[in-house]
Structure 1
Amino acid sequence: MAKVFIDGRAGTTGLRIYERLESREDIELLTLSEEERKDVSCRARMLNSCDVAFLCLPDAASVEAVGLIEHEGVVVLDTSTAHRTAPGWAYGFPELGGSFARGVEKGRRIAVPGCHASGFIALVQPLVEAGLIPASSHLSCHSITGYSGGGKKMIAQYEADGRDALLDAPRQYGLTQQHKHLKEMQAVTGLDTAPIFCPIVSDFYSGMVVTVPLFAQDLAAGKTAADVKACYQANYTGPVVRYCPAADEEGFLSAGALTGKDSMQITVCGNDERMTLIARYDNLGKGASGAAVECLNLVLGVDPTCGLEL
């Protein structure tokens, strides 16, 4: 039985991971009391007593936690931004195949992808790898997400009585084009240049849709929308990430359709002249906690979907 410790269990991501794991019979969850969870010595003891440690912490605290681990056998799954492009860390999106899958299965240090980044990378990396779009492409991306992606502080803002009326409408952010996910969005896809990225938070709890628009001239010579669809169809056969030929609901596509789920849908809309590449999933599911649990399953050598809601 694997011993698992969630450092930062009180946060939004940590709570969802705990919910996914608490009933499993192949895992022993190590926990700390409310008083102990902020005590560095108690955390260090747990981090060195477990087989697998989830880090659901701010970046600086995650770096500190890794420094507390002296036991070489401990596998670390970090949900923060701190190590997503760091040398020696596997990127936890096994559906990209090859070295990505092997890195999760065999690695000791695994960085769980960012929520917005997961959709962009799922859409772009296979196309770059297959030569359907060049690494020199200058892309744009917009993403709409539920407010739970902002953590406890934002959740409290949206759910407060007498809240600010500005929260009633979608709000674009990351306006300086320096969003923390940009680094992994460029590095993991193999692009020479980070995309123009327009994230939007809206008044619903969880779920998201990430969209990358393409013109025909963005594709390699002679390639069409049919080639893009065929690439996704070959790469994303499920059970967690699946290509869907028609994912819309009578011409609309809701960002909340997969709320509470750990799966992701990939689809292509438009035509050969102008198309949109779309990834739909839950920002707390395949965008965070669900992705982390999937990585844990691969580390343990069990069914990747064990404990997931698909």
Structure 2
Amino acid sequence: MSTKVYIDGEAGTTGLEIRERLEPRGDIELLSIDPEKRKDRGERAKLINAADVVVLCLPDDAAKESVTLIEKDHVRVIDASTAHRVAPDWAYGFPEMSPEQRQVISGAKRVSNPGCYPTGMIALTRPLIQEGILPADWPVTVNAVSGYSGGGKPTIAEFEDEQAENYSKQPFRYYALPLAHKHVPEMQKHAGLTHAPLFAPAVGRYYKGMLVEVPLQLWALPGKPSLGAVQEALEKTYDGCHFVEVASREEAASMGNIDPEDLNGTNRMRLFVFGNDEPGQVRLVAQLDNLGKGASGQAVQCLNIMTGADEATGL
């Protein structure tokens, strides 16, 4: 018996990618709305309540509204917006975050799909906090760069549509300079930090792919941990994971640069420990597709877990 899935907001960047991953599958029946009725509340409510799983690919306020339209108790939700990522009654949809997280997602009625930047940041920092290498109250800095697709249709138009009023030829730029990015609360909560991290994101002139970096002064940390200790903590956490892998110390040491686009089109994430034991410094880097493991791929992974399908189906 197939699972009925309705993507509310299927015309958006994330929705289109989720649909692309689900369309070929025989175990999924996709419910679609007439394009002319996309804003029809009654029609959306009908499809939402006819589905087994609803995937919300909407702005925050619209996602919250969609949840209020649910009347049938059997309907389960994966929300790709920011709206519910720190809500206590929503499961956080990062399966590799902890040993029990898959089980939490499997039994949840409401799952909030993580943001792309937090996926990389949490993957790098949470294991170190769990292992006592990084204190929970440490002042963490996160540097990151993403392809412009992460900004959705307005940012895509800004970089691709030469006729657009705000068309930009900038090769690279910082943003969120007031330090109030909406991803910060979920980074803090799910990494297990006492204080909000300082988040410094940037966007590059390429479509998708991202690097998320957490630099640490190991000499200043309690116990002055070595690169090997950091590497071991990450390897231990993600040992056997299908989609998250840790590059070997040898590979990291041999690299002169790292390309944010290397994992595009996949649901994979690679973690790197770059550094030098002599000065006691490390640059932890997560490499992923912001529309893959950072959005659509991770949503499909969660859908698979929720419906009992093999976790890698369609990915």
Letter in 2 for 1:119: G
Q: Deviations over 1:260-299 (max 9, x none)?
A: 1111001100123110011000000000000100000000
Deviation at 1:46, TM superposition (A): 0.8
| Equivalent residue number for residue 242 of structure 2 | 239
Match of 2:16 in 1: 15
Structure 2 match to 1:284: 291
Q: Where does residue 29 of structure 1 map in the other structure?
A: 30
Contact 2:116 2:294 in 1 (8 A): yes
Q: 5 Å matches for 1:212-223?
A: 212-221=214-223, 223=225
Partner of 2:48: 47
Q: Does 1:257 align with 2:262?
A: yes
Is it true that 1:224 corresponds to 2:226 in the alignment? yes
Q: 1:249 to 1:82 in 2, by over 3 A?
A: farther
Q: Deviations over 1:77-120 (max 9, x none)?
A: 00000000001101000101234222211111000000111111
The partner residue of 2:204 within 185, 202, 211 is 202
The residue type paired with residue 241 of structure 1 is V
How is 1:141-220 mapped onto 2 (pairs within 5 angstroms)?
A: 141-161=142-162, 167-220=169-222
SS in 2 for 1:135: coil
Residue 63 (structure 1) aligned with residue 68 (structure 2): no
> 2:247–2:270: 8 Å Cα contact kept in structure 1?
yes
| Residue 295 in structure 1 maps to residue 295 in structure 2 | no
Contact 1:133 1:218 in 2 (8 A): no
Verify the 8 A CA contact 1:137 1:218 in the aligned structure 2: no
Match of 1:84, SS? Answer: coil
- Equivalent AA in structure 2 for residue 235 of structure 1: T
The amino acid across from 2:193 in the alignment is: L
Q: Residue 141 of structure 1 aligns to a residue in which SS? A: strand
After superposition, residues 43-122 of structure 1 pair within 5 angstroms as 43-122=44-123
Q: Which stretch of structure 1 is more off in the superposition, 180-189 or 244-253?
A: 244-253
Measure how far apart 1:165 and its partner are: 7.8
Q: Distance in 2 between matches of 1:207 and 1:158?
A: 15
Match of 1:268 in 2: 273
CA apart distance, 1:225: 1.4
Q: Which ranges of structure 1 fall in alignment gaps of 5 or more residues?
A: none
Secondary structure of the 1:294 match is helix
Equivalent-residue separation in structure 1 for 2:208 and 2:263 (angstroms): 9
1:168 aligned counterpart, secondary structure: coil
TM-score (norm 2): 0.94
Q: Equivalent residue for 2:139?
A: 138
Residue by residue over 1:15-43, the C-alpha shift from the partner in whole angstroms, topping out at 9 and shown as x without a partner, is 00000000100010011111122111010
Q: Residues 25 and 130 (structure 1 numbering): CA distance in 2 closer, same or farther, change over 3 Å?
A: same
CA distance in 1, matches of 2:254, 2:233: 23
Contact 1:247/1:253, CA 8 A, preserved across alignment: no
Structure 1 residue 148, shift from structure 2 partner:
0.4
Instruction: Choose 200-209 or 253-262, whichever is displaced more.
Output: 253-262
Q: Helix, strand or coil: the match of 1:193? A: coil
Percent identity between the two aligned chains: 45
Query: d(CA) in 2 for partners of 1:249 and 1:146?
Result: 25
How large is the Cα RMSD of the aligned pairs?
Answer: 1.5
Q: In structure 2, the residue corresponding to 1:72 is in which secondary structure?
A: coil
CA contact (8 A) 1:146 1:206 kept: yes
